C-alpha cells in the first residue's frame, strides 16, 4: 500500500472495534501515527496490538470532558500536532416513537452529537492548518429504518456539523467531511440482535436492500476514510461520502 499519510498524526475516537478499528488500521497502514481512544481498557489494548505501527491507546469516554482533555494531553505529551481527526465514537438502539425513553434520547444525543462537537472543538488548538476532520455519519441521515428515529436524527446533525464547520474553519483551510457507512458487519450492529437467529434475520434483511447484496467490512469504510484524510482529497470539503454498497442511492 502506498503510504500516503506518512508523517501525519491521526486521532481516532471509538477506535477499538468495528468501523473505528477499521479506520485506524487503514490510516496506520497508510503511514499515519495513530492515537486511538476507547472506553474499555482490554479492548483498547487488543486494538493497539492489532493496529501495530506504534499506535498509542488512550482509555476514556468521549462523553466526559475530562477524558477528552486527557486524550489531547497525551497527544501533546508526545509532541504531536494533529493532521487527521476522526470523530467516530457513536451508537444507538432501536426504540419506536411511543416507546422512546428520555434516558435513551439523552444517551444517544450525548454520545453522537454532543461528544462529536466537543471532540472537534477541544482538538482545535492542536490541529494543524490544512488538517482533515472526518465525522462518522450514517445512511440514516437520508434513509429510514423502523424504530431508529433518534439515531437517524443524530446522524443528520453530524452531517450538518460538517456543512457549518467548513465555514467556521475556512481561514485555517481545515477540511471537514462526513463519511456515511451503510450496514457494516460490526460488533455494534450485531449487538442490536438478541441472538444468532435474530442477527441472521437482521443481516439478511439489510443485505437484501443493498445493491451489492452484502454488508460492508469495516476495512472498506477505513479505505474511504484514508482517502478523505489524504492529499488525494485536498479539494473535497463538506461532503457526505456514502460508503454503503448503493443503499442510499436507490
Which residues are known catalytic residues? Answer: 151
Q: Closest by alpha carbon to 35, among 19, 17, 16, 61?
A: 16
What is the dihedral sign for C-alpha 236, 87, 116, 123? negative
Identify whether the C-beta of residue 113 lies closer than 8 Å to the C-beta of residue 157.
Answer: yes
DSSP label at 2? Answer: -
Identify whether the C-beta of residue 2 lies closer than 8 Å to the C-beta of residue 227.
Answer: no
Residue 179 has which C-alpha cell? 463519511
CA 7, distance to chain mean position in Å, is: 22
Amino acid at each position: 500500500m502506498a503510504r500516503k499519510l506518512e508523517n501525519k498524526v491521526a486521532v481516532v475516537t471509538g477506535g477499538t472495534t468495528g468501523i473505528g478499528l477499521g479506520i485506524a488500521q487503514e490510516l496506520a497502514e497508510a503511514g499515519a501515527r495513530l492515537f486511538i481512544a476507547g472506553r474499555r481498557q482490554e479492548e483498547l489494548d487488543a486494538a493497539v496490538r492489532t493496529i501495530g505501527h506504534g499506535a498509542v491507546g488512550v482509555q476514556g469516554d468521549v462523553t466526559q470532558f475530562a477524558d477528552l482533555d486527557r486524550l489531547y494531553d497525551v497527544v501533546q505529551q508526545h509532541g504531536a500536532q494533529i493532521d487527521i481527526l476522526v470523530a467516530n465514537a457513536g451508537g444507538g438502539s432501536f426504540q419506536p416513537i411511543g416507546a422512546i425513553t428520555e434516558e435513551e434520547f439523552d444517551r444517544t444525543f450525548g454520545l453522537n452529537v454532543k461528544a462529536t462537537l466537543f471532540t472537534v472543538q477541544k482538538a482545535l488548538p492542536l490541529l494543524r492548518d490544512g488538517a482533515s476532520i472526518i465525522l462518522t455519519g450514517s445512511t440514516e441521515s437520508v434513509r429510514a429504518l423502523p424504530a431508529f428515529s433518534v439515531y437517524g436524527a443524530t446522524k443528520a446533525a453530524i452531517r450538518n456539523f460538517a456543512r457549518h464547520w467548513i465555514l467556521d474553519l475556512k481561514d485555517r483551510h481545515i477540511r471537514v467531511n462526513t463519511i456515511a457507512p451503510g450496514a457494516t458487519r460490526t460488533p455494534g450492529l450485531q449487538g442490536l440482535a438478541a441472538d444468532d437467529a435474530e442477527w441472521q434475520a437482521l443481516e439478511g434483511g439489510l443485505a437484501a436492500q443493498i445493491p451489492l447484496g452484502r454488508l460492508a467490512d469495516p476495512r472498506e469504510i477505513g479505505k474511504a476514510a484514508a482517502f478523505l484524510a489524504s492529499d488525494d482529497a485536498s479539494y473535497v470539503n463538506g461532503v457526505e461520502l456514502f460508503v454503503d454498497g448503493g443503499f442510499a442511492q436507490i
